[in-house]
Amino acid sequence: MIYDDRVLLYFRTIAKECSISKAADKLYISQSSLSKFLKTIEDEVGTKLIDRKTIPIRLTLAGEKFLQYLEQSSEFHKKTMLELLQTGSEAPKEIIIGASSMNSRMVSDAFPEFYNCYPSIQLTLLEAHSEKLVQLLARKKIDMAVLVRNGNDLCDQSVFFEPLISQPRYIVVSKKNPLANIASSDNSIDHPEYIDIHQLENQKLIAGKTGQRIFEDINELVKKYGLSTNGFLETQSIGTMVSFATKNYGISFIPPYYLKRFLPLDELVFFYSDYPELQWTLTIESSSPFPSVPEKHFASVLKKVFSRY
């Protein structure tokens, strides 16, 4: 079996929660999707990894050894990649990093720690929207970029990327919207509820502007699943998206990472879904699968900065 970070995350969560349903809630995916994932893994290794007859469920002996294998593989993978990066790599004189205006502050917060290790390397920050950053990265006009990925394109191994944050895009709905009636009394930003995307039929969607990744992903979602809408309301401001949703002008799609900057959110309810287009991962990327050691270090520092936020 080829090592996969997702397999470790999913299997470790099942082992920790001792419940498929609780693990699915933690991972923001449906229980059926997680059960299907587990069966696929068990079919591949040829034995049962979970004892479903016990309450709560627990790992079998094979399951314990499998989890140990995944954790050891993770450490080996990280060590090997670092060794490959250090082999014959030369330190650049300048690293140009692209980011959207929403993320540029956090990127700049990584500069001081990076300079502690590499004081002679110049860091340059370039602000642009997602579509432009992708173009600049492909043309090697910038060295690295902070970009948004969804569940469909995280398997792209043609470039180096380090995940910074992975969350679902919450479906943000006003309490005045009829959809709010299906939310439970304890619905909150920390307790969102699962919703099928087809329950959003004939809603007006607030989905960013052309050039932003959110705009591309929601348009893809609508086309791919034949979703009927009541049109789009465009804005590139997260604050305006929250305001529009609160006033029931439409429904927004916002990761909790950004939403929590606008507390309190008492007039809203929150849903999530496991459609790939609604999975949000913020990454730091390079156009090369093997960036220089300083670039790799900057990615590591930036990941720590984002975790603090």
- Number of neighbours of residue 279 by Cβ within 10 angstroms: 22
How does pLDDT run across 218-238, given as a tens digit for each residue?
Answer: 999 999 999 999 999 999 889
The β-bridge relationship of strands 94-99 and 144-149 is parallel
Average pLDDT, the chain: 88
Residues in the chain: 309
pLDDT of residue 272: 94
The CATH code that applies to domain 5-86 is 1.10.10.10
Distance, CA of 38 to chain centre: 21
Residue 228 CB burial class (10 angstroms; 0-12, 13-18, ≥19): exposed
- Number of neighbours of residue 81 by Cβ within 10 angstroms: 14
The β-bridge relationship of strands 122-127 and 94-99 is parallel
CB distance 270 to 171 below 8 Å? yes
- Number of neighbours of residue 52 by Cβ within 10 angstroms: 11
In this chain, the answer to whether the domains covering 94-160+281-308 and 168-280 adopt an identical fold is: yes
The β-bridge relationship of strands 279-286 and 268-272 is unpaired
CB distance 163 to 249 below 8 Å? no
pLDDT of residue 3: 55
pLDDT of residue 84: 60
pLDDT of residue 4: 65
Distances (CA, A) of 17 to 12, 14, 254, 270, 272: 9, 5, 27, 23, 20
pLDDT of residue 204: 96
**Domain extents in the chain:** 5-86, 94-160+281-308, 168-280
Token pair listed for 279: 């999975």
pLDDT tens, the chain, 309 aa long: 555 677 888 899 999 999 999 998 888 788 888 898 899 899 888 999 999 888 899 999 999 999 998 888 888 877 776 666 555 456 688 999 999 988 999 999 999 999 988 898 999 999 999 889 999 998 999 999 999 988 776 545 456 788 898 899 999 999 999 999 999 999 999 999 999 999 999 999 998 888 888 999 999 999 999 999 999 999 988 999 999 999 999 999 999 999 988 888 999 999 999 898 999 989 999 978 788 888 989 999 999 898 877
pLDDT of residue 82: 60
CB distance 289 to 160 below 8 Å? yes
pLDDT of residue 90: 63
CATH topology of domain 168-280: D-Maltodextrin-Binding Protein; domain 2 (3.40.190)
Contacts of 217-223 spanning 24+ positions with Cβ under 8 A? 217/150, 217/169, 217/253, 217/277, 217/278, 218/253, 218/277, 220/277, 221/197, 221/275, 221/277, 221/278
Amino acid at 300: S
CA distance 289 to 4: 17
The β-bridge relationship of strands 279-286 and 144-149 is antiparallel
CATH topology of domain 94-160+281-308: D-Maltodextrin-Binding Protein; domain 2 (3.40.190)
Token pair listed for 205: 């969607």
